[in-house]
Amino acid sequence: MTAPLLESREIELAGLRVGYTLRRSVRKTLGLRIDHRGLTVGVPLRVGLGDVESFIRKHAEWVVDRLQARPVRPPAEPCEPCDGAEIPVLGAPWRLRIARGANRIHWHEGLGQEGHVLELALRAGGSARALLLKALQQRGLELFRNRVEEYCLRLGRPVPPVGLSAARTRWGSCSSRSGIRLHWRLIHLPLPLIDYVVAHEVAHLVEMNHSPRFWSVVETLYPEYSVARRALREAGAALPVI
């Protein structure tokens, strides 16, 4: 059997330069595969490059979504919410303080040399992890609603309902029925990266797809979206697991 012919190439999809391996062999159909090495396009020997690129572009949304969801590094170690542990909030380190109380949450911003402190005042038998999740999700939802409102105003669109998600592979979603849902873990990230995700989902209020028209709306709202998209992939892989 003849060994497959391999070639490294690039294509622009949704404003991004995507590298792929072109694998020519005696197969009869075109196919796409995404794994830890990236995108591989399997094609018959005599198929022209124009047909190959048309095939990839036909599946551009699937390719980009799968590449974004692909882990770029080993998952972070679980974070144990204990006294003195640090977690990022809006890109800045916050130190946890575990105290006794009635399951109350206290955000202390910039306390001298202590820096930012998130105090979890637990009742007897209370769960530090559950209270920490509540704190992060409450702060996230408040912020996300504010940012969605801001970007909707820029587009001149009504503000939809905003909720939280815990999806495995998506930072956000937009539906004409349920509104915009944003992953609560975004609260760990710097505001510019959160704003990119918000701009992306708000743009879906105009274009419910990932067509060139959609990315044009994203660019109007967030001109540096391609830079933020790459940074989000890197930053997202390093977030703590709570």
Helix 49-58 with 60-69: angle, nearest 10 deg = 70
Which pLDDT belongs to residue 112?
61
Which pLDDT belongs to residue 177?
85
Residues in the chain, pLDDT under 50: 1
pTM over 0.85: no
CA dist., res. 24 & res. 39, Å (int): 14
Q: Domain locations in the chain?
A: 5-69, 86-237
Give the contacts of 235 (CB within 8 A, at least 6 positions apart): 189, 190, 193
Sheet bearing 162-165, strands edge to edge: 162-165, 179-183, 172-175
Which pLDDT belongs to residue 211?
86
CA atoms within 13 A on the CB side of 113: 0
Domain 86-237 has what CATH class?
Answer: alpha beta
Which pLDDT belongs to residue 73?
55
Which pLDDT belongs to residue 1?
43
**Tokens of residue 100, six digits:** 């006794």
Is residue 121 a contact partner of residue 106, using CB atoms and an 8 Å limit? Answer: yes
Residue for token pair 């992060």: 136
Helix 212-221 with 225-237: angle, nearest 10 deg = 90
